[in-house]
Amino acid sequence: MQFHFHLPSDHTVDGSAAPMEVHFVHAAAEGDLAVIGVLMESGEADPAVRSLREAIPSGGESAGALAAFDARPLLPEGGSHYRYPGSLTTPPCSEIVSWVVMAESTTVSQEQIDAFAALYPMNARPVQPLEERTIELRQ
Ligand SMILES: [Zn+2]
């Protein structure tokens, strides 16, 4: 359906958030959602983020800003991922999401993080308790 970014990451690893996270939102016909999350650490610049910033310099949403957009740089090379049942991270926070969080992170440059932070200083949901849920690692 769409993808978007959070700063800092919505997910944490051993209690630590990454500077950013990208979410790829998928919807089934019945309304259930699956979201793939990729943590983005500070490092090399991401060419996909660069393209997006050039196409949508003031932020917001755009359905057609990019004629040819290659999202592959936003995904890690490895396919290992964590799965757990969860919710939307923005209101109404409905508990209808099958979460897939990639085990490998990607990188964005500090300059890209700073540029995103200038538009969206903080748009992550506080980490929720795991409670009865289990997180499954799939290799
Ligand atoms: Zn999100």
**Average pLDDT value for residue range 23-36:** 92
Ligand 1 (ion): which residues have CB within 5 A?
23, 89
CA 14 to ligand 1 centroid distance, Å: 20
Token look-up 């999350």 returns 37
CA 122 to ligand 1 centroid distance, Å: 12
The mean pLDDT of the chain is 92
pLDDT band (50, 70, 90) for residue 56? confident
Amino acid identity, position 71: A
Q: Which residues pair with 17 in a beta bridge?
A: 12
Of the ranges 42-51, 52-61, 62-71, which one carries the lowest mean pLDDT score? Answer: 62-71
> Strands 2-6 and 136-138: what pairing?
unpaired
CA 24 to ligand 1 centroid distance, Å: 8
pLDDT by residue (tens digit) across 63-122?
Answer: 776 767 888 889 999 999 999 999 988 888 888 899 999 999 999 999 999 999 999 999
Q: How large is the C-alpha radius of gyration of the chain? A: 15
The model's pTM is 0.92
Q: Which residues pair with 21 in a beta bridge?
A: 6, 39
CA 22 to ligand 1 centroid distance, Å: 7
Q: How far apart are CA 64 and CA 60, in angstroms?
A: 12
> Could you give the 3-state DSSP secondary structure of residue 100?
strand
CATH number of 2-138: 3.10.200.10
Q: How far apart are CA 15 and CA 25, in angstroms?
A: 24
Would you put residue 107 in left (φ > 0), alpha (ψ -120 to 50) or beta? beta
CA 112 to ligand 1 centroid distance, Å: 18
Determine the pLDDT at residue 60: 82
CA 49 to ligand 1 centroid distance, Å: 16
Sorted by where each begins, the domain ranges of the chain are: 2-138
CA 132 to ligand 1 centroid distance, Å: 22
Determine the pLDDT at residue 31: 84
Longest distance between any two alpha carbons in the chain, whole Å: 44
Both tokens of 21, joined, read 């996270």
